[in-house]
Structure 1
Amino acid sequence: MTDRRFDVVLVGAGAVGLAGALAFSRAGFATCLVGPAPERRDGRTAALLETSLAFLRGLGVGSVLEATSQPLRTLRLVDDTESLFRPPPVEFRAAEIGLDAFGRNIENAALVELLVDAVRRDARILWLPEFAAGLSGEDFSAVRLRDGSSVAGALVVAADGRKSRLRDEAGLEASETRHPQVALTTILGHEREHGDVSTEFHTGSGPFTLVPLPGRRSSLVWVNRPPVAERLVALPDAELASAIEARSHRILGRMRIDGPRGIVPLSTVRVPRLHRGRLALAGEAAHAVPPIGAQGLNLGFADVEALLDLAMVARSGGADIGSPALFSRYQRARLRDVQVRTAAIHGLNRALLSGLLPLDMARGFGLGLLARVGPLRRAVMRAGLGTARFSGTGSAARSRSASGG
């Protein structure tokens, strides 16, 4: 059957694929999105940093996003490891570096819902809500569908998750490191106001994090050993809420379970090469990290924005948007950023799990310095806020989007 041809074909209709389809369409590229919208609800949320929020506002979903999310104005770190070298709590305030908030927290299901609605309203996007059957063409420029037809693009973006079928078919190697922990996730209602403060307790089994949501609600990410997490997730709502209250030292008062719960295995996926032929990887197909430190989805949106910026530069010069030169620049733009942030997540996790006295001392000393030394604390805040963006035409793309071009 004859290929239907587009400028860009994106595979995977999670948040990264949906946002990517909107971004390329609004920038004037003929766009096709392949894949069903996700249906899983497991109590997970996304802490979107300001760089991601600016990208999403440029897609025309800013007002809906702000109505369904909560600002993160203060990040509080509490050493709860029972270490001999426990530092005082450290608070990072957005106002200290001239920001209203570090970002906003939104339920994953709500984020996907608003992106799905925006894609459905964009008549320029052809959305085929079915699983891709695979790739075809020597340069991986076409995506096969279940009915035997295919769609082809000058640029094909695989955003089909950490177990990416397209990545495997293209022969792009991925290595997975499994961690000895899982994350229990859910949504909580609570007695006291959270005050837009996200609190992360560092415990001997991993971080225990409460992140604000609208109203007297917060999301929970409780990293623990699998047997402990499995016992907790099987508890009745009232007993689980009581256990969470105790672990949080009741900083938000009485709690109730106010959403679905889930267990997420912790693993890291590394992919050294992000492209082959006309195929580029984005989101968890390109890198996957544990739900620690608000990096995963922010990295995925940065991938899409980098690809968009590079494609716009190529188009403005009359060049091929799926050329080897473009993909080499994408590799350079994204891989270093991903490596640095993955290493930071691993470092924190190892420091919490290690029983070695020197490492325990170093962690406590580092947190103590952050609590006392303002310039260092502000430098850490600025470094942690954003993922590296390709400095090309991203702002132009957002301006074009805002003007309806």
Structure 2
Amino acid sequence: MKQVDVTVVGGGLAGMIAAVAIARAGRHVALVAPSWSKPDGRTTALMDQSIRFLERLAIWDRISPNASALSTMQIIDGTKRLLRAPTVAFRAAEIGLEAFGYNMPNTILIAALNDATHSEGNITRIDAVATAVDISDRGVSIALDNGETIESTFVVGSDGRHSMVRESAGIGVKTWSYPQSAMVLNFAHALAHQNVSTEFHTESGPFTQVPLPGNRSSLVWVQKLDEATANAAKSLEELSRLVEDRMQSMLGKVTVEEGVQVWQLSGMTARRFGKGRAALIGEAAHVFPPIGAQGLNLSLRDIISLADILGDRPQQPIEASAGDRFDRKRRIDILSRTASVDLLNRSLLSDFLPVQMLRAAGLHVLSALPPLRNIVMREGIEPGRGFKIRPSIFTEKLRR
């Protein structure tokens, strides 16, 4: 029987980052997860707040040579509707940053996190699957498929949308689905992307190109279910021509790479994000469409808050109410981000004229008012950051 302060169940990106952060906060951590076996051809875009967090964990230097900066993010209305919004460009330099964030291959991120979890003295990696989780006021007991048992004073559920930790804590979920699928792929292109990410808003959802190192980009293309099925059956050559056409040839000739993935979109939020001696992070807590690079960035904010709570007094036992503190701390951010992504996605699908007018008007205002655009950009990379601007400065900019 192993005894630790905290057990993290689930070894995905969020689980490994959580293990490192909590260990660096002074707690002895057991990371329970089978070793990675499947190659992951996807990419991840991390915003400035997340990058600074990885810097504090001494992980970013290993990743940065293989990441591409997101210096400009532009939105183009690619619909054929009567009311179309103007193109809006958000430039990191407007808020004093070199980049909003960076996009990187998941293989690089996974390798760096694997190294960090293996080299951290406060982490015990256990190559096993949790088969039962018992949470009480006194502590947590976790049975593994290798016959071992782990005793800890706190458990972190990072075990996906079908989380055993969440179920063991008696936490319910709210789920919903969308009539859409997301196609994810990487492609090479003839022209340089110049660190510009472009999101086309279409009637079926966002079509988002994100830079990668060199003349390569990743793409998240949200489509109607039947459209995604038909496009997934196309050859790479046909798909390349289709992507180039949807990109309006902005990056020249496109060559789609092997590894195209498609899955139906759905959403989920847990009724609570922490309870007693348990906390939920990542997809154990929240799932929503891959829009606006919010997924892992939201999970990292979960981890930042959790590490602060568990590392507040590392020499003292973890309180039985730590999970409740975490729930209170994370609730507003998670629910507001989930609602905003859901609203944006549904507004693109809606043929209701007033909804189209509101979306177009909102983008027009952002295009015309730099101070408001400044706030939106700051809020996009770190909640609360946009409203730290002094009101007098905001008023002066509006007057000008």
Q: What is aligned with 1:347?
A: 343
Which runs of 5 or more structure 2 residues have no equivalent in the other structure?
386-400
SS in 2 for 1:85: coil
Contact (CA 8 Å) 1:8, 1:30: kept in 2 or not? yes
Asked if 1:372 corresponds to 2:371, the answer is: no
Separation (CA, whole Å) in 2 of partners of 1:124 and 1:338: 29
1:274-285 equivalent positions in 2, closer than 5 A: 274-285=273-284
**Greater shift in the superposed pair: 40-49 or 258-267:** 40-49
Identity of matched residues, %: 40
Matched position secondary structure for 1:24? helix
**Residue 334 of structure 2 aligns to a residue in which SS?**
helix
Residue 41 of structure 1 deviates from its aligned partner by 4.5
Counterpart pick for 1:338 among 303, 322, 334: 334
Structure 1 stretch displaced more, 116-125 or 362-371: 116-125
Alignment-derived partner of residue 126 in structure 2? 128
Letter in 1 for 2:346: R
Could you tell me which residue of structure 2 aligns to residue 402 of structure 1? none
Q: Which amino acid aligns with 1:357?
A: L
2:381 corresponds to: 385
SS in 2 for 1:133: strand
Query: Mean alpha-carbon deviation: is it higher for 271-280 or for 250-259?
Result: 271-280
- Partner of 2:336, secondary structure, is helix
C-alpha distance in 2, partners of 1:137/1:155?
9
CA separation of 1:264 and 1:386: change in aligned 2, threshold 3 A: farther
Q: What RMSD over aligned residues (CA atoms) do the two structures have, in Å?
A: 1.6
CA distance in structure 2 between the partners assigned to 1:39 and 1:295 by the alignment: 26
CA distance in 1, matches of 2:36, 2:360: 41
Report matched runs for 1:189-268 at 5 Å.
Answer: 189-268=188-267
Partner of 1:14: 12
* Structure 1 residue matching 2:133: 3-state secondary structure: strand
**Paired residue secondary structure (2:166):** helix
Q: In structure 2, how many angstroms separate the alpha carbons of the residues matched to 1:363 and 1:41?
A: 39
Match of 2:45 among 25, 47, 71: 47
- Sort the Cα spacing of 1:222 and 1:276 in 2 relative to 1 into closer, same or farther, 3 A: same
List gaps (5 residues or longer) in structure 1. 390-405
Residue 26 (structure 2) aligns with: 28
Q: Deviations over 1:223-257 (max 9, x none)?
A: 00111111112211111111111111111110112
TM-score, normalisation: structure 1: 0.91
- Is the partner of 1:265 in helix, strand or coil? strand
By how many angstroms is 1:340 displaced?
0.7
Alignment correspondent of 1:398: none
Q: Deviations over 1:20-46 (max 9, x none)?
A: 111122222111100024444564321
**CA distance in 1: counterparts of 2:286 and 2:384, whole angstroms:** 15
Is 2:5–2:27's contact at 8 Å kept on the other side of the alignment?
Answer: yes
1:182-223 residue CA offsets vs partner (Å, 9 max, x unmatched): 100011111010010000000000000000011101000000
Q: TM-score, normalised by structure 2?
A: 0.92
Q: Does 1:297 align with 2:296?
A: yes
Structure 2: which amino acid aligns with 1:273?
R
What's 1:80 paired with?
Answer: 78
Partner residue in 1 for 2:392: none
| Number of equivalent positions | 384
Cα displacement string for residues 284-342 of structure 1 (whole angstroms, at most 9, x for unaligned residues): 101111111111101111111111101122436x4x32421x32321111111011111
* Distance in structure 2 (CA, Å) of the matches to 1:388 and 1:166: 30
Aligned-pair distance for 1:387?
Answer: 4.3
Q: In structure 1, how many angstroms separate the alpha carbons of the residues matched to 2:40 and 2:176?
A: 23
Distance 1:121 1:315, change over 3 A: closer
Q: Do the aligned partners of residues 124 and 328 (structure 1) sit closer, same or farther apart at CA in structure 2, a change above 3 Å counting?
A: closer
Select which of 71, 89, 92 maps to 1:91. 89
Cα deviation for residue 88 of structure 1 reads 2.2
| Deviation for aligned residue 1:147 | 2.7
Deviation string, structure 1 residues 98-148 (Cα, Å, up to 9, x no partner): 111101111223211211122122243211122111212534612110133
Determine the C-alpha separation between the residues in 2 that align with 1:37 and 1:259.
Answer: 24
1:49-94 Cα distance to aligned partner (Å, 9 max, x none): 1111111112211111111111100000000111222132100000
2:320 is aligned to 323
Aligned partner of 1:213: which letter?
Answer: L
SS of 2:179's partner is strand
Supply the distance in 2 between the matched residues of 1:387 and 1:369 (Cα, whole angstroms): 21
**Is the 1:92–1:377 contact (alpha carbons within 8 Å) kept by the matching residues of 2?**
yes
Give, in whole Å, the separation in 1 of the partners of 2:179 and 2:384: 30
* Residues 15-24 or 197-206, more deviating: 15-24
| Contact 2:275–2:324 (Cα < 8 Å) also in 1 | no
